[in-house]
Structure 1
Amino acid sequence: MRANMSYALYQARGGRITCGFDGYTTTRGRHEGIDIARGVGSDVHALVGGKIIYIARGHTGRSGLSTISIYNASLRKTVIYLHSAPRSSLRVGQMVGRGQVIADESWNGVSSRSTAHTHVEMRLGSRTHAAKSVGDPHLDNPNPGRFWNSQGYNVR
């Protein structure tokens, strides 16, 4: 039986998907991940275990994008989390387990508290940065639905 991805990301009561893969409706470009919101300060859990290969500790507001990139060598995929505030204990090179708390929901790199969410993106291979979305008409990532299903998640 699969768990809802939004529940696995936040646990407790879960969250809600605010923008699906390639789901932009009012923003130019192709959305390369899945945006899930719960509330500022909520614990964000790793959906897939692996090695942290990149961390950027942003700050709230439009210019402070934060990033956590976790590479799973056996899957040959990287899961990238944007906008959330990485926990201070996280370090590049550290191994994290599925379900481990890695961040707090925030609005790092988006315009306001009311738009707080976690962007979750699956990338092929070892990649430190998310694909460009805003203003980019091309998709770099494949639709991740099959990948998330293989990991035991329903994308909801």
Structure 2
Amino acid sequence: MNSIDLTPLYRSSIGFDRLASLLDSSLKSDSSVPGYPPYNIEVLDDNRYGISLAVAGFAEGELDIKVEKGVLTIRGQKESEGERKYLHQGIANRAFERKFNLADYIEVTGADLKDGLLTISLVKEIPEAMKPKTIAINQKPSVIEHKTKDSSNDKAA
């Protein structure tokens, strides 16, 4: 599989160095990731998101949710129920792992399991230092005078 050359983007952009690795990993993983379990990603408002996964048959103790280095990982491992004899088994009870790359400042705020749907809540919290600020033009900074020991010695001389 070929990777995408992002060199023209880097000529006029600053701080997008993580973009190339995100694109490469998503192109590689999309072809190998099965469609199980199915999921939805919702935009709830400007700074809130939700991910819903259909995990019918899984209990809370059989699901594991972790966030590490900007990657949300959800794993499901079904505990053995002993030997059952099925005429038809349409409900998948197989183990799974689903990963989501999170943008900067996206935080996982909670998870809920109800009616076979695992819902994960996310919020975008931009630090105060990163919010837009207005810069005044041609304003001189205020100068603070400092008294030094040398200036007190000049008076004595």
Compare CA radii of gyration and give the structure with the larger one: 2
| Structure with higher helix content | 2
TM-score (norm 2): 0.30
TM-score (norm 1): 0.30
